[in-house]
Amino acid sequence: MSFDFLQPVSPDIEKYITTLSNQTLGKKVVLHTETDFPNLETISIALICVNENRGAELENEVYNFNEFRKQFYKLFPGNWQKGIADLGDIMIGNEITDTYYVVKTICAELIKNKILPIIIGGSQDLTYAMYRAYDNLEQMVNLVAIDHKFDFAKEENLASDSFLSKIIVEEPNNLFNYSNIGYQTYYNSQEEIDLIEKLYFDAFRLGEIIKNPAVVEPVFRDADLISLDLNSIKSADSGNTNNFQSNGFDGREICALSRYAGISDKVTSFGIFNQNFTKNEMPLITQIIWYFIEGYHYRSYEFPFEDKTNYFKYIVLIEEEELVFYKSNRSERWWIEINLSNNYNKTNKITLLPCTYEDYLAACEQEIPERWWKAHRKNYI
C-alpha cells in the first residue's frame, strides 16, 4: 500500500503527549506509531509532514517535525467530532520525483476515501504532486494559492518558483481555474500579470484582501486544492526572519483565510509550504491549521444543491444575457449559474459558480460579475 512510505511519529512525541491535558488535541488525534496504524474508516482529516525541500534549492535541509507537533498538540480543539489522524512523515526520495510520486499516491488514496489530507511541507512545488493526485479522480481542479507571487518562473531548477508553469502546460491538463490570493505586484513581472489575465485566472492583490477579506470567500468555496506559501505572511507576524518579508498578511488575516478554506464544502486537500521550522514560526503555523479544521467542522454541505426548495432563485436580465442567481436560505451564501461548453468533458454542462451578494447587486445595475465572465470566456480558450 502507498501508506507503507510513511514514517511513524517519533516516540518522543508519544511520550510528550502523555504529559498533556486530556482536553488537548494531542489526546484527540490518532497517531501512526511504530506499533500501530490508524483505522482510516473513522478518519476525516489526515496530517502528513513532508521532508522535501529540494525544489527550493535546500538540498541538505532535513527538518525535524517534532517541534511543530509539540506546538500543535498542546492546543485545545473546538467542538470537533470528526476523526483526525497524524499519519507521520514522508521522507525525501532518492530523486525529487520520487517524493512527488509518494505525495501524489497518498493524497489520491485519501481523497478517494473522502479523507482530507493536510500536507505540511517542504517547498511549495509539492503543490504539483498534490494536483497530480486528482488525475484519476475524473474531475477538473480549481487551485487556489495564497501566495505573494505567481510562481511562473522559467528556471527549471527552481521548482518552488515555477511549479505553476508545469501545472498549466503538462498533460493531462486537469486545471480548470487558478486563483491567487494576496499577490504583491513588485514580486511579479508584468509578463506574469498579463498571462494571468490572458488565461482568465483570478488574482487578488494583497491590499484588496486586507481591505475586505470576505471578497475571496467565493473563491475558496469553489476550490478543490489550497496551497499556502508562508512567505505571503509578513515576518513580524510569522516569526520567519530567515526569509524576511516586510509586507504580507498578518496573523489574524491568514487565519481568517484558512477558516474560509476549511469551511468550503468543495476543498479536498490543503498544503502549507515554505516554512523555515524556527520555533518563532511554529505558533502561527499551528493556529493556521487549527482554524482550517475549525472551518471544516462548520461545513454546511449545501453544495451541490440536492433540494432547491432550500434556495431562492433570482433571474436578472442584462441585455440579451439571462443571469440566474441562487441564495441559500440556510447560510445566505450566493451562487450564479453558468453554462460551460463540452471543452471540459469532466464537468457538467450547467454548473454553479460561487459569488457574493454584491455580484447580484451589480448584475441588477447591468454589470456582469467578473468571475462569471472569466469562467464563461474559458470556454473559448
The answer to whether residues 77 and 156 belong to one domain is yes
Domain annotation covers residue 7: yes
Distances (CA, A) of 186 to 43, 148, 238: 42, 9, 20
Higher pLDDT, 63 or 324: 324
Which residues of the chain form beta strands (DSSP E)?
6-7, 30-31, 45-50, 84-90, 116-120, 141-146, 175-183, 202-205, 225-229, 269-273, 311-318, 321-328, 334-339, 350-355
C-alpha cell at 120: 505540511
Weakest mean pLDDT among 156-160, 206-210, 254-258: 156-160
Position of cell 517534532?
66
Q: Which amino acid is at 297?
A: H
In the predicted model, what is the mean pLDDT of residues 171-189? 93
The size of the chain, in residues, is 381
Q: CB–CB of 6/89 below 8 Å?
A: yes
- Omega before residue 354 within 30° of 0, cis: no
Cα–Cα distance list, 355 to 54, 204, 219 (Å): 38, 15, 8
> DSSP letters along 128-140, please?
HHHHHTTTTTT--
Q: Are 355 and 370 in contact (CB under 8 A)?
A: no
Alpha-carbon torsion, ordered 105, 203, 284, 84, to 10 deg: -30
Whole-angstrom distance, CA of residue 52 vs CA of residue 273: 10
Q: Are residues 52 and 20 in the same domain?
A: yes
Report angle CA 238, 241, 246 to the nearest 5 degrees.
Answer: 70
> Are 290 and 349 contained in the same domain?
no
Report if residue 302 sits inside a domain: no
Query: What is the amino acid identity at position 122?
Result: G
Question: Does residue 342 have a pLDDT over 60?
Answer: no
> 124 burial class (0-12, 13-18, 19+ CB within 10 angstroms)?
buried
Give me the mean pLDDT over the 197-215 stretch.
93
CB atoms within 10 A of CB 155: 9
Rg (CA), the chain: 21
pLDDT tens-digit series, residues 238-296: 888 777 888 999 999 999 999 999 999 999 999 999 887 666 778 899 999 999 999 99
Which range (77-91, 213-227, 308-322) has the least confidence? 308-322
pLDDT, the chain, mean:
89
Round to whole Å and give the CA distance between 170 and 156: 14
Domain-located, residue 303: no
Are 17 and 153 within one domain? yes
Q: Are residues 84 and 215 in the same domain?
A: yes
Residue 301 lies in a domain: no
Q: pLDDT band for 91, please (50, 70, 90 cuts).
A: confident
What is the number of structural domains in the chain?
Answer: 2
172 lies in the same domain as 68: yes
**277 and 370, same domain (yes or no):** no
pLDDT in tens, 74-89: 999 999 999 999 999 9
Contact by Cβ (8 Å): 193, 236 = no
- Give the residue from 238, 269, 296 where a domain finishes: 296
Mean pLDDT of 137-163: 82
User: What is the band of 156 on the pLDDT scale with cuts at 50, 70, 90?
Assistant: low
Domain assignment of residue 38, yes or no: yes
One domain, residues 255 and 359? no
**What pLDDT is recorded for position 231?**
92
Look up the pTM and report it: 0.92
- pLDDT category at 13 given cuts 50, 70, 90 is very high
Neighbours of 363 (CB within 10 A): 22
Residue 344 counted as domain residue: yes
204, pLDDT greater than 80: yes
In this structure, the answer to whether residues 55 and 155 fall within a common structural domain is yes
Q: Domain ends where: 236, 266, 296?
A: 296
Indicate the pLDDT class of residue 49, thresholds 50, 70 and 90: very high
* Cell numbers at 366, concatenated: 447591468
Residues 190 and 215 in one domain: yes
pLDDT the model gives residue 352: 87
pLDDT at 21: 96
Q: Which of the four pLDDT bands, split at 50, 70 and 90, describes residue 344? A: very low
In whole angstroms, give the CA distance from residue 214 to residue 211: 9
318 and 253, same domain (yes or no): no
Q: Provide the pairing of β-strand 141-146 with 350-355.
A: unpaired
Which CATH number covers residue 258?
Answer: 3.40.800.10
Whether 32 has a pLDDT exceeding 50, the answer reads: yes
Together in a domain, 183 and 214: yes
316 vs 326: CA distance, rounded Å: 11
Mean pLDDT to the nearest integer, 147-161 = 76
In a domain, 115, yes or no: yes
Asked whether residue 124 is assigned to any structural domain, the reply reads yes
Amino acid code (one letter) for 216: V
Residue 336 structural domain: 308-380
Give per-residue pLDDT as tens, 94-133: 999 999 999 999 999 999 999 999 999 889 999 999 999 9
Q: What is the pLDDT of residues 350-376, one digit of tens each?
A: 788 999 999 999 999 999 998 898 888
Confidence of residue 345 (pLDDT cuts 50, 70, 90): very low
User: 296, 324, 349 — which closes off a domain?
Assistant: 296
The gap from C-alpha 41 to its chain's centroid, in whole angstroms, comes to 23
